[in-house]
Amino acid sequence: MTPYVQSVFTTALIYSLVTMGLYITLASGQFSIAHGMLMGIGGYAGGIASVQFRVPMILSLMVGAFTAALFGVVMALVLRRTSGVLLATVTIAIGQGVSLTAANLNSLGGSQGYFGIPLTTNLAWASGTALVGLVGLLVFRKTRLGLAMLAAGRDETVAQSIGISILKIRIWGFLLGGLLAGLGGVLLAHNNGLIEPSDLSFANEPLFFIFLMVGGLETPWGALFGSIGVWWLQELLRFGNSGQFLIFDQADRYWILGLVMVITVIVRPQGILTRKPIVWNPTRRSFQLLGVLGLFRGRRSDNTS
């Protein structure tokens, strides 16, 4: 792999972690749009840990993930009486508010961002962390709590009637979402060497939605495939860093992504790549790949993971 290909994959995998965080928060029925902010908080925390305390990368990752998860939990508690689109709106406002506040805090480097973070992130770190995130989510979905969360995500009243605590589900939804987004943030900070307030801005938020919408909202795989697929798509639209692609130049890729997102919502609201969940059936020790890339729809392929 050329360094260019490596770097594109690295970035895509970093984003896939944030998108997985978005996936699990949405799956828990909490419509939150603040994962860019949670990512940024993880990035600041991990970056500070690396710069101030010179901790190894693995520890930075833990610090970032922990901080973002903590912030997620606080959000879940503060917003426990808000839900639906209103919750979404409020999380946008909080994300933007935190971003603007970060830009005003000189101790965090102000609007210039927090500099001098060691460039530790590489493809190995990114893919390793993404793998941990993905497997973690797949396993979590099979636990009692995970199943309860998915049930509550579908229908809160039904979940409540069978004795699932909605507050607990919410807290876990935000906690896991923060955790994954925080991991992405630490990797991002150590990839760019800095973390900026604009990384937290609401302006980036649609990007993660595009990844997830394209990948599919029903499984963690959607977050992974969507991030890699869309990130490569925009690289192609960028046409390798310079020049023109058909009538488009590289400034066009963002609005094209916005258009892709709108059309996806209209045409396939559950996402493009994956639709039905990819069911892992531990008793049969098989992956039933339903609907991945549309190629395997309805077919089963055995696969030991």
Partner 1 sequence: MTYFTQFLIDGLAIGSLYVLVTIGFTLVFGVMGLLNVAHADLYMVAVFVFLGVAQDLHFGIVLGAIAGIAAAGLVGALLFWQVIRRIDRNRTLSMFVATLGVSYFLENLVAKFVQFRTEAVPPLFQSKFYDVSNLHFSTGQIVLVGSTLIIAVGLSQWLRRSNTGKLMRAVSENTHLAELVAIDTVRIMAIAVILASVIAGIGGLLVANTTLSVNPFVANDVSLKMFAVAVVAGVGSVDGALVVGLFLGMIESLTVGYFGSQWETVIGLGAMIIVLLVRPQGLFGKRLRVG
Give the footprint of partner 1 on this chain (CB under 8 A): 31, 33, 78-79, 81-82, 84-86, 88-90, 92-94, 96-97, 100-101, 104-105, 201-203, 205-207, 209-210, 213, 251-252, 254-255, 257-259, 261-262, 265-266, 269
Six-digit token string for 148:
């309860």
Six-digit token string for 158:
């039904």
DSSP codes joined into one string, the chain: --HHHHHHHHHHHHHHHHHHHHHHHHHTT-----HHHHHHHHHHHHHHHHHHH---HHHHHHHHHHHHHHHHHHHHHHTTT--HHHHHHHHHHHHHHHHHHHHH-GGGTGGG-B--------HHHHHHHHHHHHHHHHHHTTSHHHHHHHHHHH-HHHHHHTT--HHHHHHHHHHHHHHHHHHHHHHHHHHHS-B-HHHHSGGGHHHHHHHHHHH-SSSHHHHHHHHHHHHHHHHHHHTTTSSEETTEEGGGHHHHHHHHHHHHHHH-TT-SS--S--EEETTTTEEE--SGGGTSTT-------
| Number of alpha carbons in the 13 Å side-chain half-sphere of residue 45 | 26
Six-digit token string for 253:
């890729």
The answer to whether 219 and 274 have CB atoms below 8 angstroms apart is yes
Closest CA to 178 of 284, 263, 91, 113: 91
Query: What separation, in Å, do the N-terminal and C-terminal C-alpha atoms of the chain show?
Result: 24
CB of 83 to partner 1, least distance (A): 9
